[in-house]
Amino acid sequence: MDSQRLNAVLGEQIRCAEAMLDTLARENQALADGDAEQLGSATYTKARLVEALERLEAERRELTQDTDPSSSDAWQRLRELVTECKQRNQRNGTLLKARAETVRIALKTLRGSEPDLYSPTGRAPARADARKLGTA
């Protein structure tokens, strides 16, 4: 195992995870402000960082096939950062769902009603005013 290369990969993963935390903070602010442009920018950046982290993780796994990096300070730091990223991403997801629900309710109010397209079983609900074919 090349410990210098492993340390470099872990260092880059840490930098990406820290950038992800910053991006998630920007995403959170954009969601709170209702700023679609900033939200789009944060989403784009988040996708690029996920790609980089996945690539680096594949490289790290290859470098540590026969060893356990868990005793490394860098590994511990990376795990902490990834845990925080997951928590912030979940919080942003909850905020996004709340925003979507608010929009759905507003649209329902404006339209007067919002038809259910599918029942919980995945089937189209029967319409109360529907008549069977051949009846008047």
Q: Which CATH number covers residue 66?
A: 1.20.58.300
CB 20 within 8 A of CB 85: yes
Q: What number of other Cβ atoms are within 10 A of residue 30's Cβ?
A: 19
Q: Two tokens at 53?
A: 């982290």
Per-residue pLDDT tens digits for 41-51: 999 999 999 99
The pLDDT value given to residue 14 = 98
Give domain status of residue 75, yes or no: yes
pLDDT tens across the length of the chain (136 residues): 588 999 999 999 999 999 999 999 999 999 999 899 999 999 999 999 999 999 999 999 999 888 888 888 999 999 999 999 999 999 999 998 988 888 888 888 888 765 566 666 666 666 555 555 555 5
Please check whether residue 135 lies inside any domain of the structure.
no
In a domain, 79, yes or no: yes
